[in-house]
Amino acid sequence: MAGIDIEGLATVYPNGVRAVDGLDLHVADGEFFALLGPSGCGKTTLLRTIAGLETASEGTVRIDATDVTRTEPGKRGVAMVFQDYALFPHMSVAENITYPLKVRRVAAATRTETAERTAGELSLQGLLERRPGQLSGGQQQRVALARAIASEGKVLLLDEPLSNLDARLRLEARTFLKKLQRDLGITTVFVTHDQAEALALADRIAVMESGKLRQLGSPREVFARPTNTFVANFIGSTPMNLLPGKVSTSAGTPADSESVNGAVGVVSVAGGSLPATTISTPAGAEVTVGVRPEYLTLTTSDIPGPAIRGTVVVAENLGTQSLVTVDCDGTLIGVTVPEETEPAPGTPVTLTAPLTRVLLYTKDTGDLLT
């Protein structure tokens, strides 16, 4: 079993930057785990500290239940793939793949066998004699992965593994990587700043900001229920609507037939109101209301109950959907609709959302209420 346990970890650079700032994390055996966050949040430093390429200033790193905090990188049982792949240009693909085995003085016959088997697993058959310069970006990336896998580490660490590939190759490589990780069952931690990549690949995602963990959860959890407005802003290909609001019906007052924990209220926002679970927010409380464009429904008819009214400003084509921007009393709200159903600019519309999709955050700290 090769889980990773991180406790109270801090990595401070000589210039005083606390790139990782007191972090606790458990990555389960066999898990595909993403470290996600904006540039400079400390993802790469955390990955490099797990690998032993940076020294922990505080706390511990355990791999497979063994404390490796002070263990040198080569003895931690980790294999790392770097963003630029770091292949040796003068070596063949086969030599690159088996280099870690050569360092460990594994016999030549075993190395050849490993190169052929790993090349098979990574669709590199027929390329073993080529040099990296004679390969496409996608093939180079697979050689770097093959080398990591051939080294038989217990844990695979990937630093932005897909960032050097163009958009089409990237999608292909994403599917390939997901299947490979599943087939091998190897505990994998990958760093990305691309939220769509993390949502698509990971079993769980850690969202980081300024060296700290802001949310840890499954892709579904961090997408549907961000626990703070930082994560709400960062996750989702169309940003979550974050609107100033005021709770207008207090806890325990049923506003309609919908009920969650018996505390249903209404929160007023620009252009109208939305239903909300107001279990810990008294009437009159000022909050930030979060609702994803995907969870809003747009109609051109007027409907009863809590709703927001506004006028269509513009519609952008997203492929199978369109993002419609609606001006609601001066506040712009995004809502996605099926393609070719978007109303023309200037059309008066009504927006509604189901109670469970309306999230309330504190106005000052941006933390999720209830």
Nearer to ligand ATP, 39 or 257 (CB): 39
Report the DSSP pairing between strands 359-362 and 286-291. Answer: antiparallel
The answer to the question of residue 22 lying near ligand ATP (CB under 6 A) is no
Which residue reads 């709400």 in tokens? Answer: 232
> What's the Cα-to-Cα distance from 29 to each of 95, 184, 185, 187, 368, rounded to whole Å?
30, 12, 8, 5, 30
Residue type, 193: H
| Minimal distance, residue 268 CB to ligand ATP, in Å | 38
Beta bridge pairs of residue 359? 290
How many Cβ atoms are within 10 Å of 244's Cβ, its own excluded?
Answer: 13
User: Of 8, 13, 55, 339, which lies in the binding site for ligand ATP, with binding defined by CB under 6 A?
Assistant: 13
Scanning 43-51, 60-68, 113-121, 347-355 for contacts with ligand ATP by CB under 6 A, the matching segment is 43-51
| Minimal distance, residue 368 CB to ligand ATP, in Å | 24
Residue type, 283: A
What's the first-to-final CA gap in the chain, in angstroms?
A: 36
The answer to the question of residue 16 lying near ligand ATP (CB under 6 A) is no
State how far the Cα of 190 lies from the Cα of 216, in Å rounded to an integer. 14
Question: Rule CB under 6 A: which of 190-229 touch ligand ATP?
Answer: 193
The answer to the question of residue 301 lying near ligand ATP (CB under 6 A) is no
The answer to the question of residue 19 lying near ligand ATP (CB under 6 A) is yes
The answer to the question of residue 44 lying near ligand ATP (CB under 6 A) is yes
User: Of 25, 41, 79, 173, which lies in the binding site for ligand ATP, with binding defined by CB under 6 A?
Assistant: 41
The answer to the question of residue 53 lying near ligand ATP (CB under 6 A) is no
Nearer to ligand ATP, 16 or 284 (CB): 16
Nearer to ligand ATP, 82 or 99 (CB): 82
Which residue reads 């609709």 in tokens? Answer: 337
State how far the Cα of 81 lies from the Cα of 151, in Å rounded to an integer. 11
The answer to the question of residue 161 lying near ligand ATP (CB under 6 A) is no
Report the DSSP pairing between strands 32-36 and 187-192. Answer: parallel
Scanning 15-23, 97-105, 172-180, 307-315 for contacts with ligand ATP by CB under 6 A, the matching segment is 15-23
- Total of residues contacting ligand ATP (CB under 6 A): 13
Find the Cα–Cα–Cα–Cα dihedral 21, 26, 31, 34, rounded to 10°: -20
User: Of 3, 30, 40, 217, which lies in the binding site for ligand ATP, with binding defined by CB under 6 A?
Assistant: 40
The answer to the question of residue 15 lying near ligand ATP (CB under 6 A) is yes
Q: Is 277 exposed, middle or buried (0-12, 13-18, 19+ CB in 10 A)?
A: buried
Residues lying near ligand ATP in the complex (CB under 6 A): 13, 15, 17, 19, 37, 39-45, 193
